[in-house]
Structure 1
């Protein structure tokens, strides 16, 4: 379980590096196993570790140069401070800290295959960016997507637009509109007067 958390942290870091369009990357990690697997010293024999490794290797191919080095946990003070954060008093922090809560392991969320017959829709790039950190090669489009995605959250695989006034709004495709209208018309207190069957 700890190695899965280490891979999740590595994937989050790689996503940030891609978001700022880094070309060369030096990564420091305190997990001997993860560093050794990424560097090809150890094989990933466990199915879960193999899936994580394949996703990480796929992302690393997008950098011109990359280097992953092991550092002892006691030297990795920033990671140690962040690992203590969930059990700390949040009100003690005066600076902005952004948290991402993963409901599902990244390797279960990432899908490189689009089902046949599903057409692309405006929510797809936003969802893909949140899931994998993907950005367009066009710098202007990548920046627009990064900024736009900040207004959205992915909860159990469903994209929601955040709002300060109303609850999060579920983002749906055109084919889902009719079903959503039926659900909203029924309301929480039953079917409205004059509604159809």
Structure 2
């Protein structure tokens, strides 16, 4: 799909605007060397005029119909069909863009500014009239047949535009279609390095990772075949990113999975806090989790000492789920005290001390 919006810089009725869009679209197709053209329009009047089913009576409509008929003769086959507006939503959206937004608000969709009506041209004047002004995003070109002030077609200077990216080598100035519709400007190797540097660590750069950097470049309207790999390598080579990256100094050790054979037989215990102050000056939370079912028992406390730990195990674990076989905790003073270990021994609970283990991650 080649996207193009047309903006009439003169007063025109709806029917005149429909004719202007039809004529400019036919000129565009002719410039792309199209031989068989089929047009879909939601204008019942224009479609029936061109199909000779309605008679044009207004002088302007007669003039527009004459130009459309001349353009139609340039194609081997031509057919125009009237469709409901709900089946023409894409063209309707482009019409809204061209009529509503100011030129500076659109960055990727080229807008053709038609300065004078098509019917004011002389019959022998070239269809590539110089009263058509093309506005595109800076640094981008459209795949469609567009004309500069001298009347030269852009596809004459940019080969193979209509075929897309068909060679593995970068072609300076060529374009590629994006998923969202607008055309992306394909960069050369030198231009790609400049864009990578500016968007990664330039004035507006945020030292994004390789994947985020490539997506950012796409959103700005640029493309080259190895963009994702180049962005990842560029981010890896950034000295500032290497200095600020989180460094893992903990030596790598094998993980020791803990498997419980039965529900509520093996519990993990730990203290959470200090937390924001709650009613009763509670700023800590004692938590126990069953390894088998992942059931959690928790209670907010003002302080966590050995007596609070023993009371919590009696009240929340033994009274509700029975005597556990093992309780796994760290080396907190509340957990390794003589009173706590004596309590576990009286109830035949095996306390297991486990130091925190941090898995090794890639930087």
* TM-score, reference length from structure 2: 0.32
2:100 is matched with 87
Partner residue of 1:73? 85
> CA 1:131–1:29 in 2, change beyond 3 Å: closer, same or farther?
farther
CA contact 2:130–2:150 (8 Å) conserved in 1: no
Relative contact order, CA 8 A, sep 6+: which one is greater?
1
Per-residue Cα deviation, 1:48-103 (whole angstroms, up to 9, x for no partner): 00000010001101100000000111210111111221324767655x22212222
Residue 122 of structure 2: aligned partner: 111
| Structure having the larger proportion of residues in helix | 1
> Secondary structure of the equivalent of 1:3?
helix
User: Is 2:47 aligned against 1:39?
Assistant: no
Aligned residues: 126
Secondary structure of 1:45's counterpart equals: coil
Q: Could you state the TM-score of these two structures normalised by the residue count of structure 1?
A: 0.57
Unaligned runs of 5+ in 1: 115-124, 134-145, 155-197
Q: Which runs of 5+ in 2 are unaligned?
A: 1-12, 133-144, 152-363
Instruction: Tell me the C-alpha RMSD between the 2 structures.
Output: 2.7
State which structure, 1 or 2, has the greater radius of gyration over its C-alpha atoms.
2
Give 1:62's aligned residue: 74
| Residues 132 and 102 of structure 1, relative CA distance in 2, 3 Å threshold | closer
| 1:129 equivalent in structure 2 | 128
SS of the equivalent of 1:81 reads helix
Deviations 1:150-175 (A, max 9, x none): 3x279xxxxxxxxxxxxxxxxxxxxx
Contact 1:51 / 1:107 at 8 angstroms: preserved in 2?
yes
- When you count strand as a share of all residues, which structure comes out higher? 2
